[in-house]
Structure 1
Amino acid sequence: MKSKLTYLHRTLTLILIIVLSAMRAQAQAPVAQFTSNRDSGCFPLRVDFFDNSTNSPTEWQWDLGNGNQSTLQNPSATYLVPGVYQIRLIARNANGADTSVFKTIKVFGKPVIDFVSPDTLGCTPHTANFTSTATPGILANSITGYEWNFGDGGASTLPNPSYTYNINGNRSVSLKVTNDKGCFEIIGRPQYIKVGSGIDVAFDEVVTPACAPPITAFFTNNTTGNTVGTTYTWEFGNGATATNPDTVTYNYSTPGIYTVRLIGVNSIGCRDTATKTIVANAFNTVINGPDSICAGSSATFSYPSNTAILANPPSLWRNGFNATNYTGASFSFVYTTPGTYTIQLFANYGTCRDTIRKTLVVKPSPTVNWNILGDSVKCSTPLTVNFNNISTGGNIYNWAFGPTGATSTDRDPVYTYTTAGNFTVRLTVTNSFACSTTVQRTNNVRIQAPTLSIAGTPAGGCAPFVFNAATGVTTTAVDSIVRYSWDFGVTTRTDDTSNVRNPVFDYGNNPGTYTVRLTIFTRTGCSVSATRTVVIGPRVTFGIAATPRVTCPDANIQFNITNLVGGTPPYTYTWNFGDGTTRTGTT
């Protein structure tokens, strides 16, 4: 019984605590709090708000920032204008009200977009250039993407693309632009680009030859393609025009070479031009060629390929320099002497003749020459070379001394070579007429160390031995050899030297090994040596004994070497028995 009373007491106590806690909560003002499903986005933006207030509010007063109010516990709002909105919630219960902190909603604007193309009408293949004028939009910082659709399956992501239409038709173009907030806008232009078939303008011409004006030309329009509604304009090359669509006859009052154009524009704006050059009256021949050249240069003269000059009898050229005649459409000649020359073309036009003249001025060219004061060769570096310029007829000098980058514009330069080699020197001289002459001399400066070899001289022999250096001595020296010094290596003699190039030295009957040395000395102070080992062996002497010395045919005879003196074993011998039989051996 006591345990039941204890349990009842505990239960009543717990119920009392819960009731008192509820009464206490109802006695406190609510603490307003709320969240939303998003804090920002692109307009139009719907936002759902959720009340998280504590202390059991029973009333809610929302200011949704866009001019709208709500008393719902969890309202929604749609923002139709980009901007920054402040949201406020007032929560109430029987004990009072509390206002929450403001919550900010950012509504980003879409990009403001437009585009334009100056090429809305054209002929296949037609290239249209598009320019976007898009801006990021309210609260956006930049544009992050462009998506063009050109209406024929073509697309681009460039801000200002160019696109070529290869098929006829009217094409709608759209552009989608996205900013850095993820907001985008799309604009479209129905049938914005109109592409149609073009025309191929062409014409034929016939010019009637005449010796004097007027010269009549006949032109025939051969244009093909989409020619419906095409208008034509003829331009005859002298300011005169015509709009005849087909055949045109025109009389030129002045001989000359004219550029004739036929311009066609069809009904959709496709335009094409054909151009031809015609010769009205063959007397208006011109000579193509230079007005001036430098002496020593070649000049080529010709008449235009469309000039109606006949080949039979041939037209003749004269070069003005000598009496040589040339035939054909051109000639070339090297003018070596300064002066003024008259080039003549005696043109044959069949029933008409004409003489055309052209003046050629041949300007003087410099004469280039130089020498070197002092040495231009040396066996070692450095070598300072003094160039003495004796060129005439020029006042600007450009030297190249051989090593990379080694140049000078002095008249008489001094240049120091610091590396060995064979150097090509080049001098270009230019005069006041802008004529230049260049002379290049290979190996004009040479810096090379001398070389020496006596490997081909005798290597030795048997005593008595004579060393003959008539052959086997090879030398090179860019600056010439001034002295030879031989040492034959015999320390016991004082006459074992020589100063000639190819000496002869007698070692006598003195076997041994000797070191022969030759040293050469060059004009600019270099020397080089070479050695040769000469081995002289002692001469071998011996006798022959035969037993028996008289015998019958087919009998054996014993031959022996006797009194062998000199040399060092083993010996190599060759026997000749006098009857054509020989034997060779070593002992």
Structure 2
Amino acid sequence: MAICRRKIWGLFFIISLLCFLLCPRVWAAGTISVPPFTYLTTPASATYWGTVTVGGQGPKVGDVIGVFDSSVVENSGCIGAVAIDQAMADAGSYSIATYGDDPSTQQKDGAAIGDSLTFKLWRPSEGTMYILEPASGVSAQSWPGDQQVVGNYHLTSVGAEPQGAPQARFTSSATGGCAPLSVQFTDSSLNNPTAWSWDFGDGSAISHEQNPSHTFSQPGTFTVSLTVTNALGTSAPYTQTIQTSALPEADFSLNTSTGRGPLEVSFTDLSTNNPTSWEWDFGDGTSSTVRNPVHTYTQPGTYTVVLKAKNACGENVKTKAGAVSVQASSSNLRAAFTLAAGALEDCAPLQVTFQDQSTGDPVSWEWSFGDGNISTARNPVHTFQRSGFYDVSLKVKNAQGDEHILTQKKWIHVLIKPLADFRADKTIICQGETVKFTDQSSGEPTMWRWNFGDGWISSKQNPEHKYEKPGLYMVRLIATNKCGYSLEQKRNFIEVRAPEVDFTTQQTGNCSQLTIQFTAKSPQGEIENCHWNFGDSSQGGGSSNQPNPTYVYSRPGIYTVTLTADTPCGRATKTKQIAVSGVPFASFAPSANPGTVNQTIKFTDQSTGGPTSWEWDFGDADHGTSTQQNPTYRFKQPGEYRVSLKVSNHCGSHTAVRYIIIVNAGENADPIFTPESPICSGQEVKFVTATPTGVSISDWQWDFGDGTPGTGSNPSHIFPSPGTYHVTLTASGSLGKSYSLVKSVEVHEKPLISAD
């Protein structure tokens, strides 16, 4: 770049740093240009200076002002920048050093005559980029003598730069309440909108404030919508629902207001503004909370009825004086009844025969049994199919049209066999804790028998029980009444835990550090008062009282680690063996060597260093392999086999090799040798060798025990004198397997031959 060739390193560093802050942003279209500045034909610098205001205030410490040339390729067109320090902020002015284009670079790397420049201010404290424009009446002067161009630009804010089409967002201080409801709306739209349009959904005027407050004067559901605009477009509407309520207006109607007693009156709620509860006072000392109740007046008189309607906004009362007028009956008609057969309480289905005992010469009867069924018979028979309490009512009339009603509340009680069920306040506890059991049986049981699974029982309806020993317990409940019984049992319902602590490990750092991160935990919750023993005998065992310690082991290996800690269920101890890994060292042993054909040979891994994977190659024609740690294998042919084990972990790998001899059943597995005949000193004796099937010997080395070596599979040798000699044969197999055999031979004195 031309700046670098000018060797102005300090200034270059400052400009590069500031441009790094300013230039990576993608500038939106529509930026405001300033007049081009003049510079010399040789590479020359220019300085722009002046004052700047943002929102009527001068620059702040930390603000950065930059100059941009849209035709410059590098640094997103940033050709100069300055960070506002305290002195500039106090003075309210700044100066920016910029550079012209260097034609020799064959690349546009600075400003030239005719270029359009843009000035921008980045305010990190707000995270906002402002576009700046020059004030009117600006001028530029050049001084060729000192190769400097000065432009006096007074720059004024024109607002934050859009980062794209805006997206409307807002929050509200409330989404519901009682009217009149005042709500403060706060704009949180994206991409710096410059205009706002609020529609509150209640027919009021549109608001163009950024953060308006609005009062919803009427109850209802209102959809509030915000649309925002900036230089790059208009957003889609963003909506939110406001729900307002009002104080209820209580009102009601009656189906009848006068008549002879007993007089049945139906009341209908006519309240507005959505009441949620109702309180009726019928004026005769009775009341109701039903929305639309039915009430029977039994005594003559005039009654004032009061309804109180409530909702979240408050309550309202409607009073109707003299709403009901009841005249005395002119007859002695009185309804009465009893049971002729059946029982007032028994098991379903319950059949009952009712007997009318009314007086005053009734001529008609109307029964209501409380289960939705009615009858007009004088002495009806009715069967109650379902359990529960039933109100039985009889209305009688005489020939003059007088009527009288008698209602027996909860007169019939129908039972069914119970259906046992229960719950517990907790099902996982520590030993010694108490569990509260709650009967949830249906069918109105009258007796209960609990079995808690640990040998204890109870006959209470809702017992409590303490479990002393850890384990899983089945709980049983038998619920009984006069209609029968039911059993509910829940297997493994209560889990009683002994104190339990555990820990995890993770090897951290590189493999040469052998650093283990320990983390203590308990399924019963938080633990405290931890004590660790890391099992490192080389460092006195190693210990810590931290809950999650880090420990550095001196060498790889298997270590027994013990953690003791207090849990919510008491003090507990956990012991584990952990593998501390370095680069593993492979080693193994076969269960038989030599072995025989089709014999199952177990290969036992004896590797150290914490391997995590194993790769076995059994070296036979079947290409037998395994990834088990301790595999078994059968060789199908006699021979000498090269068995290899490669062990690996995250630190590396290592391979070990052993040779396995397989022979036919009954064969010797090693080469053997014998002298051909009895041995006498001074006479040549031949040694004969034999090798097992499948074993190939590639080299024979002999030591005859008299200082003389030999080679070959069947050598000859002369022992110089009688005595005992230790003959050694060293044989090398084709796969590198070595055999060493030692045999003692007796050499006798050569017999003298007589002439006789």
Question: TM exceeds 0.5?
Answer: no
TM-score by length of 1: 0.25
* Larger relative contact order (Cα-Cα within 8 Å, sequence gap ≥ 6): 1
TM-score by length of 2: 0.20
